[in-house]
Amino acid sequence: MRVKKKELQCTLTSAEDIVLTCELWSSRSEDSYLTVGCHFVDNLGSLKSYILKTTSLFGDESMPNILNQLLAITETWNVTDKVHSVVTAGMPQLKGNKTRWTHMPCFSDVLNAVFKDVMNNAELSYILNKCCNIIQFFKYDSEAEKKLTELQGKLQGKLQANQEELIMCCRDRWLTWLDMLQRLDKQYRFMVMVLNERGQTDLILNENEKKKIKNFISALEPLKKAISTMKGKGFETISVMVPVMMKLMDALGQEAKRKNDVAKMLLSKYKHEFGDVNNHKLATVTFLDPRYKKQLTDDNNRLAINKVMTELSAGIAYSTDRLKVQLDKYKAYPPNAEQSNPLAWWRHTGKEKFFELSKLAVKKLGVVSTAVPLERAFSRDGDQFCNLRSSIKPEHLNMVLFLNSNWAIQS
């Protein structure tokens, strides 16, 4: 542990701009913990991510205590003055409060929060809970599950039947609800046969409930498609958020026009949470991402260019005319492939061609979109990881998470 901490301390000495990620979570004993990570771009244009510390909050989840913990951790690692942004998950108490650092909510955390809000709709909540009860019936009754498998095998073939195993959602994650409902919708005609045979008619969905489920699936499928560009390992730059939200808003808008009330509800709440994606505060970082700059609206382009001009004029003695020339050239430069690394591009090609913009671009693109790695943010792996983490004894927690997260990277 001491050796790895010393190695990481040396690594952080060379870092310029650092972003913190903070996740607030609870163990099975209901004690709350704060896990703090750090992220920076190295000289080769690779995004480096490390866990700094996991600490107990001893039941005090107030904003002052969280900020004190963050400050203590950054001072211990001697990076306080290098940190410029903090991405948080599970900490609504920080929203709207001024801190010494720029506060950014975790993208996946916001998506899940909006979904929970939609779930507060009484009719929708009732129907979704009924779906959970249907799945539980087949999961807990082995004879019913066996009968369902037999029916599938007769009418669809054994291979298809194996692919249609029922799954249960994790109630806090929208993506697992979609997985569960898609599977239920495909199998429902077989499930009705078994439910009738076993006298479980109270679990049978009426026509309105089936329509709501199809609307629910049609509303969540665009969300899954929109975030598919983010599926991967590690962390994704925050520049992806505006393109993802633009695609999502457009798809939900199309669904709403088809009188999908679930899509209409989600669209309204996402607009409230994220604001106008066609004139958005994150347009600047998206503009500085050579992959997505051409996808911005005219309003977003104007907003981004004005913001870049303001920031660079205030910090460096560049003439306005020179900056305008650089921005026009960058804007006209062909966009990069979406699979490319924008950070590496700015460290090399971008720095050579648009030197005045490169330092600001690397700093802004170094802000990550989620407080946890993507494989946990948008998959069922996150549930398994949280369960395993919660089973670790508190006195060993910080050491285990530190070594588990940093060993492969440092080695």
Strands (E), 44-183: 47-56, 83-89, 102-105
The sign of the torsion formed by the CA atoms of 281, 377, 85, 311 equals negative
Residue 411 scores a pLDDT above 50: no
Residue 274 scores a pLDDT above 70: yes
What average pLDDT score do residues 377-399 get? 58
Distance CA(315)–CA(19), nearest Å, equals 20
Q: What is the pLDDT of residue 397?
A: 64
Question: Which pTM was predicted?
Answer: 0.87
Distance CA(23)–CA(32), nearest Å, equals 10
Question: In which band, very low, low, confident or very high, does the pLDDT at 322 lie, cut at 50, 70 and 90?
Answer: confident
* CB of 169 closer than 8 Å to CB of 136: no
Element spanning 276, H or E: none
Q: Kindly state the percentage of the chain with pLDDT values over 70.
A: 87
Question: In which band, very low, low, confident or very high, does the pLDDT at 152 lie, cut at 50, 70 and 90?
Answer: confident
Q: Which has more confidence, 378 or 188?
A: 188
Residue 410 scores a pLDDT above 50: no
- Domains assigned to the chain: 2-105+375-410 (3.30.420), 116-227 (no CATH), 238-365 (no CATH)
Distance CA(98)–CA(148), nearest Å, equals 56
Residue 390 scores a pLDDT above 90: no
Q: Which has more confidence, 361 or 405?
A: 361
Residue 391 scores a pLDDT above 90: no
What average pLDDT score do residues 120-136 get? 94
Q: What is the pLDDT of residue 384?
A: 46
* CB of 62 closer than 8 Å to CB of 54: no
Q: What is the pLDDT of residues 325-339, one digit of tens each?
A: 999 999 999 999 999
Whole-number average pLDDT of the chain: 87
Q: What is the pLDDT of residues 199-226, one digit of tens each?
A: 999 999 999 999 999 999 999 999 898 8
Question: In which band, very low, low, confident or very high, does the pLDDT at 407 lie, cut at 50, 70 and 90?
Answer: low
Structure tokens at 394: 């508190």
For residue 40, which phi and psi values (nearest 5 degrees)?
A: -155, 165
Q: Which has more confidence, 399 or 210?
A: 210
Q: Which has more confidence, 245 or 377?
A: 245
Residue 230 scores a pLDDT above 70: yes
Residue 110 scores a pLDDT above 60: yes
User: If you search the block for the tokens 């899954």, which residue do you land on?
Assistant: 224
Q: What is the pLDDT of residue 316?
A: 64
Residue 114 scores a pLDDT above 80: yes
CB neighbour list of residue 160: distance below 8 Å, 6 or more residues apart: 152
Pairing verdict, β 32-41 and 47-56: antiparallel
Question: In which band, very low, low, confident or very high, does the pLDDT at 144 lie, cut at 50, 70 and 90?
Answer: very high
Strand partners, 363: none
Q: CA dist 216 to 173, 191, 201, 360, Å?
A: 14, 19, 23, 41
